[in-house]
């Protein structure tokens, strides 16, 4: 796949790529629609403080973590078209509540719920993986993520103008945010009708169980449990922060800590329920996959995307305070970190496709991140501003490229589990953001950059030890195991059976054949008893045994 292919709009996969990155772009635009309007919000709502907005900023990434896990499971069960459309429509509601909020608590809760829109990232990752072959997946995923991720920068550049020029007045910011929410909901409806889950009906492969990620060995099961705990456990940082700012009393905070603990325990129970029977039965050799590679990519996304979200939040202030710049100039320079997304992330995926060794590319990018943040940690007012900008762009190039390389590998690890694997890795990016933003409250900017550099180096070591080159990562088709084939065959038999039942129960308004416990459940709804009797007569005519009651 080349850059010129992006203009072949008649190609179904190219059209799907453009439709999906635009959906992600709009989602990110809405997700980060608060920061560029912060000063307008403070002037209009004098009952808010800058500390409140900093709390809102942490809340803005908090629920993305569990949302990405839930959405990952929903993806594997329902497919990305439905999930993306519904997510965009539903998340417009908290965006509107925040836009017209009249209390701190109302706006905090709205921002917390809205943070779930960050899960849109993994939805698009899964959709693109359904449309593109392994040999082209790196560039396609990188372009999707890079151009979509630019929505945050677009919000920073356009929302103040929309608020001041198009609407104006003290409430201009409210209408600007509300407009972005309405556009997102409208595109969500459009997306439902404009795309399908891959080029054919059998492209989307469902896992055996969507309640938890399947693993291949007892050691992998232990690793999955260990790496599941931080996904929800990290929310305790937000609870602690909210409590210290006076939003919560001690008793309420205790209840929230217990709820977080209960959620973690529930997730572990689900993991055991899904995997214990599979492991006792034995996983076929051709269906095994290296879960350590998933762990390695979780850690890399913690270190690259987590660093990006955290650095974007503090970089304008860093330039403003270190070189005495005005807010506008500092913001424009800091925006260079996000602008690099447009080409660096697609390039990371493209290099992963072309180099012939995805693991080496991942290692190279993570090492570059460590060097980049190490250089940024050395910066102070004695350094020329030009050099600081060069270091920032250099660092951003490796950060964004590493993100593209990460999702150049993930879809090839285990095809039918792509949604859950992507959801877990994506969630670790937000875990990294929460942890890094929390650490930033206790250290100087230079120390902060050194800490991120150390995190990138640790990630490099984990990748060096655990990341494996994905099997079939450059092929024309994804690897399909005997279990995948059995699942597909079972789905086809179920579809044929439901079609046959539809002929028998032709009067039924709805007919659904689904799993229920250890068996199957047939649900049929009729308008009246006469329709039921006609269906029973048809069964008798076909010599089908019918038991009364």
Evaluate whether residue 267 is within a structural domain. Answer: yes
pLDDT score at 160: 83
pLDDT score at 476: 60
pLDDT score at 262: 94
CATH number of the domain at 428, please. Answer: 1.20.1250.20
Same domain for 421 and 500, yes or no, is no
pLDDT score at 188: 96
Which of residues 254, 272, 288 is at a domain's end?
Answer: 288
Other CB atoms within 10 A of residue 141 CB: 32
DSSP codes joined into one string, 180-231: HHHHHHHHHHHHHHH--SSSSTTSSPPPS-SSS---SSHHHHHHHHHHHHHH
Evaluate whether residue 145 is within a structural domain. Answer: yes
Domain coverage including residue 244: 217-288
Length of the chain measured in residues: 549
Which of residues 238, 273, 288 is at a domain's end?
Answer: 288
How far apart, in whole angstroms, are the C-alpha atoms of residue 17 and residue 340? 20
pLDDT score at 543: 55
CB neighbours of 190 closer than 8 A, spacing ≥ 6?
none
Same domain for 192 and 231, yes or no, is no
Token pair in block for residue 12 = 């179904």
| Residue 216 DSSP symbol | S
Evaluate whether residue 207 is within a structural domain. Answer: no
Phi and psi (nearest 5°) for 264? -60, -45
Evaluate whether residue 548 is within a structural domain. Answer: no
Evaluate whether residue 50 is within a structural domain. Answer: yes
Same domain for 503 and 422, yes or no, is no
Burial letters for 291-302: b for 16+ Cβ neighbours within 10 Å, e otherwise?
Answer: bbbbbbbbbbbb
Same domain for 252 and 319, yes or no, is no
Same domain for 260 and 360, yes or no, is no
| Residue 340 DSSP symbol | T
Same domain for 89 and 77, yes or no, is yes
| Helix, coil or strand: residue 492 | helix
How far apart, in whole angstroms, are the C-alpha atoms of residue 223 and residue 78? 27
Same domain for 137 and 247, yes or no, is no
| Residue 5 DSSP symbol | G
Domains held by the chain: number: 4
Same domain for 156 and 58, yes or no, is yes
Evaluate whether residue 209 is within a structural domain. Answer: no
Same domain for 188 and 251, yes or no, is no
Mean pLDDT by 10 residues, the chain (549 residues): 75 92 94 81 84 80 78 81 95 95 90 90 86 80 82 80 84 93 97 89 56 89 94 87 82 92 92 93 88 94 88 79 76 75 78 80 93 94 92 90 82 79 84 86 90 96 91 65 73 75 72 67 79 77 53
Evaluate whether residue 4 is within a structural domain. Answer: yes
Phi and psi (nearest 5°) for 524? -130, 135
Helix ranges restricted to H, 282-384: 291-323, 327-334, 336-339, 341-355, 358-377
Same domain for 180 and 221, yes or no, is no
Same domain for 223 and 318, yes or no, is no
Q: Which of 52, 43, 63 is nearest to 246 (CA)?
A: 52
Which of residues 438, 471, 504 is at a domain's end?
Answer: 471
35: alpha, beta or left, given left = phi > 0 and alpha = psi -120 to 50? Answer: alpha
Same domain for 67 and 194, yes or no, is yes
pLDDT score at 548: 47
pLDDT score at 398: 92
Evaluate whether residue 298 is within a structural domain. Answer: yes
Furthest-apart CA pair in the chain: how many Å?
Answer: 92
Token pair in block for residue 67 = 């949302």
pLDDT score at 546: 46
Q: Which of 220, 149, 185, 256 is nearest to 424 (CA)?
A: 220
Predicted structure pTM score: 0.76
Kindly state the helix (H) or strand (E) to which residue 14 belongs, with its residue range: helix 12-31
pLDDT score at 95: 95
């Amino acid at each position: 796949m080349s850059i010129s292919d992006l203009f072949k709009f008649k190609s179904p996969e190219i059209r799907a790529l453009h439709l999906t990155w635009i959906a992600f772009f709009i989602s990110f635009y809405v997700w980060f629609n608060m920061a560029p309007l912060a000063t307008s919000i403070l002037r209009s709502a004098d009952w808010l403080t800058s500390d409140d907005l900093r709390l809102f900023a942490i809340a803005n990434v908090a629920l993305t973590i569990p949302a990405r896990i839930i959405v990952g499971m929903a993806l594997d069960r329902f497919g990305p078209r439905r999930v993306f459309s519904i997510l965009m429509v539903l998340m417009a509601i908290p965006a509107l509540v925040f836009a017209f909020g009249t209390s701190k608590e109302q706006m905090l809760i709205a921002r917390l719920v809205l943070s779930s829109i960050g899960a849109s990232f993994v939805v698009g990752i899964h959709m693109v993986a359904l449309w593109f072959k392994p040999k082209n997946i790196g560039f396609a995923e990188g372009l999707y993520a890079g151009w979509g991720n630019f929505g945050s920068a677009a919000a920073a550049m356009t929302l103040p103008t929309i608020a001041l020029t198009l609407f104006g007045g003290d409430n201009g910011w409210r209408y600007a945010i509300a407009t972005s929410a309405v556009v997102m909901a409208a595109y969500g409806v459009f997306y439902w009708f404009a795309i399908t889950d891959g080029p054919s009906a059998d492209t989307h492969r469902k896992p055996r169980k969507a309640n938890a990620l399947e693993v291949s060995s007892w050691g992998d099961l232990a690793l999955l449990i260990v790496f599941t705990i931080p996904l929800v456990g990290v929310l305790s940082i937000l609870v602690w922060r909210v409590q210290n700012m006076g939003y919560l009393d001690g008793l309420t905070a205790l209840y929230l800590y217990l709820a977080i603990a209960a959620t973690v325990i529930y997730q572990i129970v689900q993991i055991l329920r899904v995997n214990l029977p599979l492991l006792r039965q034995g996983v076929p050799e051709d269906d095994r996959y290296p879960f350590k590679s998933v762990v390695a990519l979780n850690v890399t996304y913690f270190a690259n995307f987590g660093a990006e979200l955290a650095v974007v939040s503090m970089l304008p202030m860093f330039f403003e305070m270190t070189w005495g710049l005005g807010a506008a100039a500092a913001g424009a320079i800091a925006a260079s970190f996000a602008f690099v997304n447009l080409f660096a992330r697609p390039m990371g995926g493209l290099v992963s496709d072309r180099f012939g060794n995805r693991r080496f590319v991942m290692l190279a990018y993570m090492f570059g991140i460590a060097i980049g943040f190490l250089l940024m940690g050395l910066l102070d007012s004695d350094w020329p501003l030009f050099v600081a900008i060069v270091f920032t762009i250099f660092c951003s190039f490796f950060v964004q490229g590493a993100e593209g390389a990460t999702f150049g590998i993930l879809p090839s690890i285990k095809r039918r589990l792509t949604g859950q694997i992507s959801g877990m890795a994506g969630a670790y990016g937000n875990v990294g953001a929460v942890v890094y933003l929390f650490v930033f409250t206790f250290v100087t900017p230079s120390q902060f950059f050194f800490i991120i550099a150390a995190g990138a180096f640790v990630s490099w070591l984990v990748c060096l030890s655990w990341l494996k080159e994905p099997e079939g990562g450059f092929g024309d088709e994804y690897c399909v195991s005997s279990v995948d084939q059995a699942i597909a065959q079972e789905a086809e038999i179920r579809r044929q059976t439901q079609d046959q039942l539809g002929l028998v129960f032709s009067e039924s308004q709805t007919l659904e054949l689904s799993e229920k416990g250890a068996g199957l459940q047939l649900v049929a709804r009729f308008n009246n008893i006469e329709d039921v009797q006609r269906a029973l007569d048809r069964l008798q005519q076909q010599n089908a045994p019918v038991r009364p009651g």
